[in-house]
Structure 1
């Protein structure tokens, strides 16, 4: 069993993409980040595999400060693969603030990581990954219409981005980083707004396109405009537009938010996997177990 680290993203891609593409929807995050590394959007990417006789049994990817994405191809090697991964992460002294993976894999890895490092595990996000192939045409639409965001909307989007991160308990970048990200998103026509009677009342964005799919994210409606169906109508409308160019849409939801999960199911999204992001902290004693 060999642990291999890849410095050339194209070599890594040739090795892992055929595996990931077998379940393109489930692996959409991994695939899209891999494409981002190829495009130069991420620096200092960590890419590795575990192989048995040149056959990949596990693969990993991290673009700091984002979580390490774990994918195990052959569960017959699950325990050995996790032990070998942990050994090498410690040997190369890589910082590991969090991981993201399917729920069973993530929690099993966390158990092992705690034993070896003495760190404690915290739940960052209990997620469901949903897929959409066709929008429910019977939905009642809210008043208003959609449009692409433009530069004049950037200040409002930046404010909502910040509030979204606060409500979702996500790491909050600096204002300057948020500003640059929003400008780039707007210029690339990735942000969609719902406008009612001349007022912007909801937003969402598309991101991480893969060969056949695209991700819906950053769905936000300010508190004073909620319970009017704006977000549901916006997501349904834009998802239908996206399905003209893609075979499917995917999105991650917070499983602790029953309202959003209900909305996405009404639109036609179907949960395909339970995913979780787990973070690691030093234990109170600061001692190894």
Structure 2
């Protein structure tokens, strides 16, 4: 077994596009991350792109889009030691790894670093969408909502993923809108009360997230309503696999998603290195 570090996204795509697209559910994070790189202006933070080969055949991959952790969903377990050693040499600034638990934990262990489990999630896929009956109505966000979306994104990350890199939130939201992602807002009595994002479909797959309701508007069903609205937007865009991740330490969100039609698939875990 050997590994190839790709200097360009074009080279990596040539080796992995068909492979990743053949399993868009498992490779959801990689597909959306790579699409964002392709269609966004170039930055100084170049991605780390590695493929693993056995007898000339591509058997897996490992990617990182700075400043975020490695994505191990396509990492073959037999390549974990090779991947950890190579990653340490070519990308020493990586903060951690995320992916299905068996792969991300194996990679984290193989690095020999001290790490903490920062996030445990369950991946869900939409079956039959069940629209909840909730006061208010949904609408899609526009450029005029960018400042609010930036504020809500910062609040969401501070609450749900405190280890997340510090990025300019408003610019991230503006870029997401320009990429064509669906930013759904729920409006009750003229007040914006909840937000959910659905990515533009890739290989038939859309992923929801973030989903956020400010604390003062919780326990009214707005999170379920805006999630269903965003899910319907994704279906209208032609998505065949509508996915999301729910924090396993939050039983409320897990039950809400199941009530509107989402079915559990797999457990993922995110590990960050201790410094």
TM-score, structure 1 length as denominator?
0.86
Who is 1:180 aligned against?
171
User: Per-residue deviation at 1:185?
Assistant: 3.4
Matched residues in 2 for 1:172 and 1:46: separation? 17
CA drift at 1:123? 1.1
The residue correspondences of 1:25-44 to structure 2 (distance < 5 A) are 25-40=25-40, 43-44=45-46
Aligned-pair CA distance for 1:59: 0.8
Q: Distance in 2 between matches of 1:151 and 1:244?
A: 21
Shift in Å, 1:34: 2.1
- Please give the per-residue CA displacement for 1:183-236, whole angstroms capped at 9, x wherever unaligned: 333454632111111111111112253120211112111111111111101211
**C-alpha distance in structure 2 between counterparts of 1:74 and 1:157, whole Å:** 37
Residue in structure 1 matched with residue 125 of structure 2 by the alignment: 131
Specify every segment of 5 or more residues in structure 2 that has no aligned partner in the other structure, as ranges. none
Give 1:158 deviation, angstroms. 2.3
1:244-255 pair list within 5 angstroms: 244-245=236-237, 246-255=239-248
**Helix, strand or coil: the match of 1:66?**
coil
Match for residue 219 of structure 1 among 211, 221, 225? 211
Paired position in structure 2 for 1:238: 230
> Alpha carbons of 1:242 and 1:72: their partners in 2 closer, same or farther (altered >3 Å)?
closer
Distance 1:140 1:211 in 2: 28
Q: 1:202 to 1:69 in 2, by over 3 A?
A: same
Q: Is the 8 A contact 2:26 2:73 kept in 1?
A: no
Structure 1 unaligned regions, length at least 5: 283-289
The aligned residue for residue 3 of structure 2 is 3
- What is the match of residue 287 of structure 1? none
- In structure 2, the residue matched to 1:103 is 101
C-alpha separation in 1, matches of 2:91 and 2:15: 25
Q: Does 1:195 align with 2:187?
A: yes
Q: Deviations over 1:82-130 (max 9, x none)?
A: 121222223335322110121011112222212xxxx311112101111
State the alpha-carbon separation in 1 of the partners of residues 133 and 148 from structure 2.
Answer: 24
Q: Compared with structure 1, are the counterparts of its residues 73 and 98 closer, same or farther at alpha carbon in structure 2 (3 Å cutoff)?
A: closer
Deviation at 1:152, TM superposition (A): 3.4
Is residue 149 of structure 1 aligned with residue 141 of structure 2?
Answer: yes
1:209 equivalenced with 2:201 (yes/no): yes
In the alignment, does 2:158 pair up with 1:169?
A: no
Structure 1 stretch displaced more, 208-217 or 146-155: 146-155
CA distance in 2, matches of 1:121, 1:22: 32
For residues 31 and 143 of structure 2, the distance between their equivalents in structure 1, rounded to whole angstroms, comes to: 29
* Distance in 1 of aligned mates of 2:267 and 2:194: 27
**Aligned-pair CA distance for 1:18:** 2.0
Which residue matches 1:15?
15
> What is the alpha-carbon distance in structure 2 between the residues aligned to residue 217 and residue 74 of structure 1?
26
Report how many aligned residue pairs link the two structures.
270
User: 2:176, 2:159 → 1: CA distance?
Assistant: 21
